[in-house]
Every structure is written in structure tokens, then in C-alpha cells.
């Protein structure tokens, strides 16, 4: 691509660094901003800068938050004795979009994957165990992507939780094995949450 302006070229190059954005899409976005009122572009830039500099992570569940505790954990209408264990923030957004879950979450920050160099110590597993020990948690729901790494993570955490008096379940297999949770449609994900299974039965059938 040939540019008559280095400012335009630099802006396109920065947008093209975003995942899923090629140079043609980046150029289209930059040209759109170029036609937009300056105050709107300024607001756009300030929102991105503030998000990156000021956003926090919940000290309880590791979700993104504006304060030390996220809006889900601090919501008195949510079931505080129920924790849905997920891999990342995108999974929280996917489950929330179903409007079928009213408990809290715990974000692991990944799943156990030895081939990728990710072990239990690199995830928020001990924090989850401590939550169960300190809080009156009635049920843990595993909502991890149905693949080998997800199953390994469920098995490992289940063993850690066995001495504790907590019900452990996993979402039903409405989601195909080997699929990614964030790409499941809302109806399938909602059905999986509603028809969750005891982890003991799930592991025994694997």
C-alpha cells in the first residue's frame, strides 16, 4: 500500500496490529475516523486510553472491574454461594449473554496445557480453593471448553476440592467436544448451564 501521508500510514499500521484486522480493514477504519468529527475521535481515543490505564481486575474472581470488586461479585441479587469456573473474560461475557446464570464467577486465566508450558501454578486455581474454604460456597460449576486441556483442568481442580464440602458440576455436553466455549451459540450455552452434570459422572464417562 502506498500512502501520501506518514500519519495515515502510521495509524493504519497500528490498527493492523489488532487481532483479525488486516491492512485493508485497518485503512477503512482509519478513513472512517478521518471523516468523523474531531471531538468524537478524541472521545474514542480517551476511552481506549482510560480503559487500558484505569481498568482493574476483581480481587475476588479476577474479572475486569472498575473497582477492587467487580459489579457481579458486589451484586447482592447474585447467588454468592455459587461459582462458575471459566477460562477467560470472554467466557464470562458469553455466559452472561444467555441470561440463564445468576451466580458468581472465577476466571482461571487459562487452562492446564503442558505442551504450551501452562501448569496449575500459573492459573488462579489456589485462589479458587481458598474462596471455597473461606466462603460458604454450595456449588462449583465448571464451564471450560470441551477439549483435552479443559478436561485435564477440571480433573485437577476436582481433586483439589474433594476434601471440601462443595457440590461440583460441569455444564452439559450441549457443546461439542473439541469446541471453544466462546463460539457456542447462546441457546446451546444456556441449555448446557441449565442441564449441568455432576463432575463425578462426567469424569467417569470420559
Q: Which residues form the domain of 36? A: 6-54
Percent of the chain with pLDDT strictly greater than 70: 88
Q: Is residue 197 part of a domain?
A: yes
What would the mean pLDDT of 7-16 be, rounded to a whole number?
A: 95
Cell 459489579 locates to: 71
Which pLDDT band holds residue 60 (cuts at 50, 70, 90)? very high
Q: Please check whether residues 44 and 99 belong to one and the same domain.
A: no
* pLDDT at position 196 over 80: no
- pLDDT mean across residues, the chain: 89
Count the domains in the chain. 2
pLDDT digit string, tens, across residues 12-52: 999 999 999 999 999 999 999 999 999 999 999 999 999 99
Q: Please check whether residues 142 and 84 belong to one and the same domain.
A: yes
CATH number, domain with residue 128 = 3.40.1360.10
pLDDT at 147: 84
Q: Please check whether residues 178 and 89 belong to one and the same domain.
A: yes
Instruction: Please give the angle made by the CA atoms of 111, 199 and 131, to the nearest 5 degrees.
Output: 60
CA pair distance 170, 168, nearest whole angstrom = 7
Q: Please check whether residues 92 and 125 belong to one and the same domain.
A: yes
Q: Please check whether residues 14 and 85 belong to one and the same domain.
A: no
Amino acid at each position: 500500500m502506498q500512502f501520501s501521508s506518514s500519519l495515515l500510514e502510521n495509524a493504519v499500521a497500528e490498527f493492523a496490529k489488532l487481532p483479525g484486522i488486516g491492512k485493508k480493514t485497518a485503512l477503512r477504519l482509519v478513513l472512517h475516523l478521518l471523516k468523523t468529527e474531531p471531538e468524537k475521535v478524541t472521545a474514542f481515543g480517551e476511552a481506549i486510553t482510560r480503559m487500558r490505564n484505569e481498568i482493574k481486575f476483581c480481587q475476588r474472581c479476577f474479572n475486569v472491574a472498575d473497582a477492587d470488586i467487580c459489579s457481579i461479585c458486589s451484586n447482592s441479587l447474585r447467588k454468592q454461594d455459587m461459582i462458575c469456573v471459566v477460562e477467560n473474560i470472554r467466557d464470562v461475557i458469553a455466559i452472561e449473554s444467555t441470561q440463564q446464570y445468576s451466580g458468581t464467577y472465577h476466571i482461571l486465566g487459562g487452562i492446564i496445557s503442558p505442551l504450551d508450558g501452562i501448569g496449575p501454578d500459573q492459573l488462579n486455581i489456589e485462589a479458587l480453593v481458598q474462596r471455597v474454604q473461606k466462603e460458604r460456597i454450595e456449588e462449583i460449576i465448571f464451564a471450560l471448553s470441551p477439549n483435552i486441556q479443559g478436561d485435564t483442568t477440571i480433573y485437577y481442580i476436582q481433586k483439589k476440592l474433594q476434601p471440601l464440602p462443595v457440590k461440583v458440576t460441569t455444564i452439559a455436553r450441549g457443546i461439542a467436544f473439541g469446541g471453544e466455549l466462546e463460539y457456542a451459540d447462546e441457546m446451546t450455552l444456556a441449555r448446557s448451564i441449565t442441564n449441568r452434570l455432576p463432575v463425578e459422572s462426567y469424569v467417569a464417562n470420559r
